[in-house]
Amino acid sequence: MGGFRASAKVKENVHSMPLEIDKAIKFFAFVPDFKLSTEYSRSVLPKSIEFKDVVYNLSHLSLMIGAFANKNYEILEDAIADKIHQDYRASLIDEYEEVIKLCKEGGAKATFLSGAGPTIMAIDSDASKTKAHYQALVSNLKNKWQVYELNLDLEGLSCN
């Protein structure tokens, strides 16, 4: 479908609606030169989640959508805060804290762990920030981090 969407499956139906997002928003993926298996990354997660942590994540999800919808990127870091998986998995990723710190110092509006890791994501709204900018920030770390600039796919799947 493409774009930035709010979606949910309800019984057998999928409801999906586009959300307008500023085209100036950039996503950067920081991929290290080491692997982390999803199975191992899942093994550090708790067997159950406290209700208050689910409420925390859901309330922050609504705040994240509001931040994007209103172009209020100053609250984006707080809005994407997580209590379900990131804290448990961060310790599995060598230099996780260093990459997060460098991204914030470099102007990123928000940083987060991509899925099970070890990829770390950064969001920026400054059009002047490029892949080269972020690559330079992590160039002195002991692991080799490759930075990719990811563009929003506004078209979705097409059969041409």
pLDDT in tens, the chain (160 residues): 778 888 999 999 999 998 888 888 999 999 999 999 999 999 999 999 999 999 999 999 999 999 999 999 999 999 999 999 999 999 999 999 999 999 999 999 999 999 889 999 999 999 889 999 999 999 999 999 999 999 877 777 777 7
Instruction: Quote the Cα angle for 111-76-139, to 5°.
Output: 25
The domains found in the chain, sorted by start residue, are: 24-150 (3.30.70.890)
Tokens describing residue 91: 């310790």
Could you give the CA distance from residue 154 to residue 25 in angstroms, rounded to a whole number? 13
